[in-house]
Amino acid sequence: MNGLSEQMRALGPARLAAIAGVAVALIGLVIFFATRLTSEPYELLYSGLEQADAQSIVQTLEAQNIPFQLANNGTEILVPASSRDRMRLETAEQAVGGSASVGYEVFDNSSALGSTNFIQNVNLVRALEGELARTIRSIDDVRHARVHLVLPKREVFSRETLEPSASVVVATGGRTLDASQVVAIQNLVAAAVPKMTTQRVSIVDESGAMLTRGMDEDGSMAALTQDEMRRAEEQRLARAIETLLSRTLGPGRVRAEVTASMNFDRVVTNEELFDPDTQVARSTVTIEENASSQDQEPSPVTVGQNLPEGQFNQEGGAGSQTNESRTEETVNYEISRTVTNSVRESGVVDRLSVAVLVDGKRPTGADGTPTYEARTEEDMEKITALVRSAIGYDQQRGDQLEVINMEFADLDSMFAEEEPWMFMGFTKDEIMRMAEGLGVAIVAILVILLVVRPLVTKAFESLPSGADGGATGLLSAEAAGAPQLPGPVTAPVPIGLGDEDMEDLDELIDIEKVEGRVKASSLRKIGEIVDKHPEEALSIVRNWLYQDA
């Protein structure tokens, strides 16, 4: 230990500081790479977050002491892989904006004693708005939503009653809500507020576009604009063609485009038709009359009529009898009548222009690679017939149809995912991790060989040789306070060696190189010490003998 401490003191503070700095840097480098290799990888927790939602999630992660990383201007949050699934469950409501809106939980922490009626009404509106916003956010393609309700109070002594209204702002992230989703949101808000009608609900997207344009009073979608109806009809026909042909040709092997010319004139037709052939007896009246009358002429006046029995024996004059019969029948018939009132408000297709592009066959060649083969004329005629039936082709209307067979670009080969690179059963990530570890080892070895070793070697070369140091220590221990022996000022020459002997010795040293030089220097120094201090040398030898004994 004394020899080591002497060597450390001989190095000096500057060299010791340099060696210590290199050692600390080497240890830090090893710790850094070791930590990097053993640290858990980070995985994406959420992306595309709003600032308020990201702030709420970050606060939750900090409260639970879970490390995280922010990326893409704070819209993406990464957490360790082991904590990703658990944190997704715990922060699911915050990720969809649940923390930004307040629901009925606003009443959980409020005290009924210190709150006024006004505060209770305001909290009720806030809670209703928050609950509606949460429900709307659960719809597909809706990333964020805000609801504003106006619930007027009936004024005292007022006959007029104001209707409640609502405004809804939805953020879709560049997507478009279809008509059914807009109607669903409108009816959802109207049904949640008493006495609110659907036409009093306005829905606006993040770009400021009015989504409830063209609503009827009953809340249903009114007639869309002409362009929207035309595009809807074109898309319907195109989907019908692609769906029909894809079942035979295969998915992605057919592409259809339809251009429709439509008439959107509003037509009102009132029609009344009478059919005389279809008579129906509505009523029948029958009248029958029978009349009978008898007339007789009076007898002449005679004397016998004045006798007492004369009036009984008289005979009447000539007479006549009349019978009369009459029958009358009246039948009322109803003629069949048809009354038609028709109003046409939807568009009518005037002409269709349809273009269908069909891919050819792709049989597999002998070498296993697919080859392109055009379809036959018979196949193209069958495909054309199917398309005519699918779109309701009408030649008199002026419809145009083109079905062409062309080779499609092979998207599978163009955008196919490359197979993961493997080497001896190891993936690229595993090989990179092993390469990082190997790199750390190589850097450490190079630092030791090229930095630490030269510094240590240079530091120890400037010290006295080991023999000189050992002899000095023994002399110090033996002399016990005697003055130290001074070192040689010039290179000593052993006694009894002449110039020729010195030359021979130098040649020997040259032959032995480094070891010869060290041995020759040690012998010269020892010989000089023994010649100058024979008594101290004798004491050292005795001390060695006693130690061996």
Task: Give the residue carrying structure tokens 């273009």.
Answer: 355
At 19 the pLDDT is 72
For 361-389, give the secondary structure using H, E and C: ECCECCCCCECCECCCHHHHHHHHHHHHH
pLDDT of residue 168 exceeding 80 = yes
Same domain for 34 and 179: no
Same domain for 246 and 395: yes
Same domain for 24 and 166: no
CATH number of 194's domain: 3.30.300.30
CATH number of 81's domain: 3.30.70
23 in a structural domain: yes
CATH number of 391's domain: 3.30.300
533 in a structural domain: no
> Predicted confidence band at 255 (pLDDT cuts at 50, 70, 90)?
very high
At 105 the pLDDT is 65
Where among 98, 123, 143 does a domain terminate? 98
At 408 the pLDDT is 84
At 102 the pLDDT is 66
Q: What is the mean pLDDT of residues 26-34?
A: 72
Taking only the tens place, the pLDDT of each residue in 170-188 is 988 778 888 788 888 989 9
- Residue ranges making up the domain that contains 350: 238-265+346-414
Q: What is the mean pLDDT of residues 473-493?
A: 43
Taking only the tens place, the pLDDT of each residue in 385-422 is 999 999 999 989 889 999 999 888 776 666 555 666 67
At 509 the pLDDT is 44
Residue 359: φ, ψ to 5°: -80, 155
Same domain for 247 and 362: yes
| DSSP secondary structure letter of residue 300 | P
Same domain for 261 and 376: yes
pLDDT of residue 140 exceeding 80 = yes
323 in a structural domain: no
pLDDT of residue 549 exceeding 70 = no
Same domain for 133 and 13: no
Whole-Å CA distances, 53 to 47, 306, 457: 11, 141, 61
Taking only the tens place, the pLDDT of each residue in 194-221 is 888 888 899 998 888 888 865 555 444 4
Q: How many domains does the chain have?
A: 5
548 in a structural domain: no
In this structure, which long-range contacts are made by residues 124-132, counting pairs with CB atoms below 8 Å and at least 24 apart in sequence? Answer: 125/149, 125/151, 126/102, 127/102, 127/103, 128/192, 128/193, 129/101, 130/101, 130/102, 130/103, 130/104, 130/106, 131/103, 131/104, 131/192, 132/168, 132/188, 132/189, 132/192
More confident residue, 99 or 49: 49
- Nearest Cα neighbor of 168 from 228, 128, 220 is 128
At 284 the pLDDT is 84
At 239 the pLDDT is 92
Provide the percentage of residues in the chain whose pLDDT is more than 90: 10
At 1 the pLDDT is 53
For the chain, what is the mean pLDDT?
Answer: 75
Same domain for 389 and 363: yes
At 492 the pLDDT is 46
At 189 the pLDDT is 92
Taking only the tens place, the pLDDT of each residue in 381-395 is 999 999 999 999 998
More confident residue, 355 or 6: 355
Out of 32-41, 76-85, 167-176, 283-292, pick the least confident: 32-41
Taking only the tens place, the pLDDT of each residue in 427-478 is 777 777 777 777 777 877 777 777 667 766 766 665 554 444 444 444 444 4
Same domain for 382 and 258: yes
pLDDT of residue 113 exceeding 90 = no
Q: CB-based contacts of 517: which residues, under 8 Å, 6+ apart?
A: 509
At 218 the pLDDT is 47
Same domain for 260 and 405: yes
At 354 the pLDDT is 93
At 258 the pLDDT is 93
Same domain for 151 and 68: no
At 357 the pLDDT is 92
Beta-bridged to residue 404, according to DSSP, are: 357
294 in a structural domain: no
Same domain for 151 and 66: no
Beta strand extents in 4-106 (DSSP E only): 42-46, 69-71, 76-80
Same domain for 153 and 86: no
At 471 the pLDDT is 42
CB of 256 closer than 8 Å to CB of 241: yes
Q: How far apart are CA 538 and CA 544, in angstroms?
A: 10
Q: How far apart are CA 164 and CA 24, in angstroms?
A: 74
State the pairing for strand pair 201-205/69-71.
unpaired
Where among 55, 75, 98 does a domain terminate? 98
145 in a structural domain: yes
70 in a structural domain: yes
pLDDT of residue 80 exceeding 50 = yes
539 in a structural domain: no
Taking only the tens place, the pLDDT of each residue in 31-41 is 776 666 666 77
More confident residue, 309 or 441: 441
- Nearest Cα neighbor of 527 from 501, 504, 495, 505 is 495
At 123 the pLDDT is 83
43-52, 229-238, 524-533 — most confident range: 229-238
